[in-house]
Amino acid sequence: MKVLLLKDPKDKDSGPDPYIKELGSYSLEATLIPVLSFEFTSLDSLFEKLSHPECYGGLVFTSPRALEAIKICLKEKSKKEAWSKSLKQMWNIKPTYVVGKATASLVEEIGLIPQGEKAGNAEKLAEYICSREKPNSSALLFPCGALKREVLPTVLREKGIPLESFTVYQTTQHPDLQESLSSYFSQQGIPASVAFFSPSGVKFCLQHIQKLSGDLINQVKFAAIGPSTAEALQGAGIAVSCTAGSPTPQDLAAAIHAALHPPHNC
């Protein structure tokens, strides 16, 4: 059975994509189509903020892209030296809150210690932060994308915990998306399941998939990586067959396998 994954590939250097590998363990043939392109912005301003850890109570990351922005900054020799010499240690005195394993591993790559990775989504991370931070303390710095959801900022604001959101990337549709989808459907046919990894992915892909599937759309099991993606699908009138318990290859693969093999629905 075929599964279409609408996500960016893992770095080419680090072996096969873990989602393809995990689905393969269930004898599911997964294909990955990149959906999004990212344009990084305000990187000098970002590093300026990172250069003043004394102004903040800690860091919050809900996206691997925000870490990629920091890694781009650190490619510059002088910034890398400043980070290694003192900034990294100063930030490590403070908490670095993250959602998910992918973001946590990138936080570790820049030498910081992640907290809250098991939260799994922004709602649960917000609860975790609220259980650890005091109202009206120093603001947490939140490098994020232009399309960030307001769940985490809203919850923290309601609890009186200051958060400084700072946009470091813009999200756009991948230039090859439409062509890649058309090619997949003409060569592979209609997949048994389609997995979405972000509300942006729903926005950019869903209409193409509905058009390419035609009357057979109801045969497709739609999967979501988390609750916000599931909400985006439901908002577009799509019945969500399963949502991963947490945003990991293991949980998504298990959920898709269960959805494709009733009566054990997820």
Structural tokens at position 137: 């303390």
Contact in structure between 142 and 163 (CB atoms under 8 Å):
yes
| Residue numbers of the chain with a pLDDT score lower than 50 | 264-266
pLDDT of residue 59: 98
Q: What are the φ/ψ torsions at residue 254 (nearest 5 degrees)?
A: -65, -40
What CATH number does the domain located at 39-172 have?
Answer: 3.40.50.10090
pLDDT of residue 118: 87
pLDDT of residue 12: 52
Q: Where do the structural domains in the chain lie, given as residue ranges?
A: 2-35+176-260, 39-172
Which residue from 206, 193, 192 is spatially nearest to 235, judged by alpha carbons?
Answer: 206
> pTM, whole model, 2 decimals?
0.74
Residues 6+ apart with CB under 8 A from 177: 33, 34, 35, 204, 205, 208
pLDDT of residue 89: 97
pLDDT of residue 265: 46
pLDDT of residue 15: 67
CATH architecture for segment(s) 2-35+176-260: 3-Layer(aba) Sandwich (3.40)
Residues 6+ apart with CB under 8 A from 214: none
Q: How far apart are the first and last CA of the chain?
A: 18
Same fold, 2-35+176-260 and 39-172: yes
Interval 98-123: pLDDT, tens: 998 889 999 999 999 999 998 878 88
Q: Give SS3 for 187.
A: helix
DSSP conformational letter for 55: G
pLDDT of residue 16: 81
